[in-house]
Amino acid sequence: MKPVTRRNFIRTGAAAALGISAVPAAAFAADVDAQPVKVGVVGMGNRGTSHVNCLLTIGGVEIVALCDLFENRAVNAAEICVKAGRKRPSVYHGDMNTYRQMLDKEPMDAVIIATYWDSHTPIALHALKNGIYPGIEVPAALTVDDTWNLVETSENTGVPCMMLENWSFRQDNLALLNMVRLGMFGEIVHCHCAHSHDCIDHWFFDSKTGEQRWGAEYLLRYNRDQYPTHSVGPVISWLDINRGDIFTEITSTATASKGINAYFKRRFGDSHPNANLKYSQGDIVTSVLKTKMGKTLVINYDMQLPRPYSNRWMLQGTKGVYFEEKPAIYLVDVSPEYHQWEPWKPYEQKFNHKWWQGDYSALSHGGTDYVMLSQFISAVRAKGQTPVDVYDSAVMTAIVELSGISIANNAPVAFPDFTKGKWQSNKPYFAMDRTL
């Protein structure tokens, strides 16, 4: 492989920057040469409805059924399909088990699961047993036992199972993955990541009344990293987790819980019922994970204090470092100034991944959801493995409960090997770019 130097980076950079173009018209057209992929969606809140809109832009997809607890939400999503010129999907609504009727009755190839966290696993297990590919919103499970259940059911049925971790599909993260696989950072030694996102006034509580939303229950009951997958998703591929390396243990610690009470006193006054409740969830959770090959990863949960959004990705190797928050990069023998940062964007353009050969910025999450779902649908159509497999889904998911156990015991916790030893022979799989 030709080494990357400052000179040949400049020579090829301008041409590579032209790789971003408009969204190909074919991306939105039906695939007339193939049977459509039949898809159902369970959970028609904001996220599920967003997925419906995104699926309507992917060629060769037929949304056959929609399910929600509330009739009006399911009907609204069905109307979106009709207004897009598609066949009206069947509508299911009722109670927490209505999804079973949909999965048992409707012929479908895949189901998108965008419900409350604690219902993700049972819906996915029912789908797997019916031969249906589950695309599960994050996190796929809340306990290690449920995570193992997903792995073993997927293995036993032969049906792939994918957690829909969209940040693994971001343009910047995939470009960085290309660079890692080219050896530009040398041997990777350490990574940092975070989900730093003030969610008190929209995820967990109503911003106008302060009334608890469904997610607030978890803050009251648990002290753990509630939401690790957005931060960890891209990192497991950078570190070759499950493919040449594996996490061996996790050590987590949490600060006191101050931010939620401070928010309510500031926003609603001392007399609001939630202003003086005792919340189990610490404001900042810091987890340190070790790997078999001697790498380390630091993860921060940070969702309760006032701050701008950030994922704080950082990757360090023997030949350089990437820092997303700047965003900037430094590479030995490539960067022009010794030990000085240079801008990241030219590298993102030069090493742009093949999945980002269009301008998808007008779509959900800047096009990241489109890239993720289109790759998921392609796998379903081919009856092949999903871009994120059940083992990578399991690793991301297990951090939820394991971090809580470590905090409670003030001690490291062993990390399960969901591959049962196959990590030693597994080759890198996610987002392989044939253009490298």
**In total, how many domains does the chain have?**
2
141 in a structural domain: yes
Q: Is the per-residue pLDDT at 212 higher than 70?
A: yes
309 in a structural domain: yes
Four-residue CA torsion sign, 181, 184, 189, 195:
negative
Distances (CA, A) of 413 to 112, 398, 402, 404, 408: 32, 11, 7, 10, 11
Provide the pLDDT for residue 186: 98
Rounded to whole angstroms, how far apart are CA atoms 66 and 367? 23
Q: Is the per-residue pLDDT at 22 higher than 90?
A: no
Q: Is the per-residue pLDDT at 188 higher than 50?
A: yes
9 in a structural domain: no
436 in a structural domain: no
Q: Do 271 and 300 belong together in one domain?
A: yes
175 in a structural domain: yes
21 in a structural domain: no
pLDDT band at 374 (very low <50, low <70, confident <90, very high): very high
Q: Which residues of 163-179 are buried (b: 16+ CB within 10 A; e: fewer)?
A: bbbbbbbbbbbbbbbbb
Percent of the chain with pLDDT over 90: 92
Q: Do 300 and 257 belong together in one domain?
A: yes
Q: Do 67 and 155 belong together in one domain?
A: yes
Distances (CA, A) of 119 to 42, 84, 215, 231, 369: 10, 29, 13, 22, 22
Q: Do 175 and 155 belong together in one domain?
A: no
Tell me the range of 2-16, 26-40, 388-402 where mean pLDDT is highest. Answer: 388-402
372 in a structural domain: no
Q: Do 268 and 320 belong together in one domain?
A: yes
Domain boundary among 125, 144, 165: 165
Provide the pLDDT for residue 185: 98
Rounded to whole angstroms, how far apart are CA atoms 362 and 380? 25
Higher local confidence (pLDDT), 183 or 8: 183
Question: What CATH number is attached to the domain comprising 336?
Answer: 3.30.360.10
Question: What CATH number is attached to the domain comprising 142?
Answer: 3.40.50.720
Q: Is the per-residue pLDDT at 84 higher than 80?
A: yes
The dihedrals phi and psi of 426, each to the nearest 5 degrees, come to -60, 140
Q: Do 72 and 135 belong together in one domain?
A: yes
**Looking at the whole model, is its pTM more than 0.85?**
yes
Q: Do 187 and 318 belong together in one domain?
A: yes
Number of neighbours of residue 202 by Cβ within 10 angstroms: 12
Q: Do 76 and 61 belong together in one domain?
A: yes
Q: Do 198 and 340 belong together in one domain?
A: yes
Find where tokens 């006193």 sit.
265
The dihedrals phi and psi of 412, each to the nearest 5 degrees, come to -65, 155
Over range 374-390, report the average pLDDT: 98
Q: Which residues of 95-129 are buried (b: 16+ CB within 10 A; e: fewer)?
A: eeebbeebbeebebbbbbbbbebebbbbbbbbbbe
pLDDT band at 434 (very low <50, low <70, confident <90, very high): confident
pLDDT digits (tens, 9 = 90+) for 327-355: 999 999 999 999 999 999 999 999 999 99
CA 72 to chain centre: 28
Average pLDDT, the chain: 93
Q: Is the per-residue pLDDT at 79 higher than 50?
A: yes
Q: Give me the count of residues in the chain.
A: 436
Burial label for 31, CB within 10 Å (0-12, 13-18, 19+), is middle
Provide the pLDDT for residue 52: 98
Provide the pLDDT for residue 143: 98
pLDDT digits (tens, 9 = 90+) for 40-68: 999 999 999 999 999 999 999 999 999 99
Q: Which has the closest alpha carbon to 68: 112, 26, 36?
A: 112
Number of neighbours of residue 236 by Cβ within 10 angstroms: 24
Q: Do 348 and 206 belong together in one domain?
A: yes
Domain boundary among 165, 180, 215: 165
Rounded to whole angstroms, how far apart are CA atoms 80 and 304? 34
Q: Do 119 and 221 belong together in one domain?
A: no
pLDDT digits (tens, 9 = 90+) for 397-417: 999 999 999 999 999 999 999
Provide the pLDDT for residue 21: 30
Provide the pLDDT for residue 23: 40
374 in a structural domain: no
Burial label for 301, CB within 10 Å (0-12, 13-18, 19+), is buried
Q: Do 195 and 207 belong together in one domain?
A: yes
Domain boundary among 149, 165, 181: 165
285 Cβ contact partners less than 8 Å away, ≥ 6 residues apart: 223, 224, 225, 252, 253, 254, 255, 299, 300, 301, 403, 407
| Containing structural domain, residue 84 | 26-165
Are the beta carbons of 89 and 64 closer than 8 angstroms?
yes
Provide the pLDDT for residue 391: 98
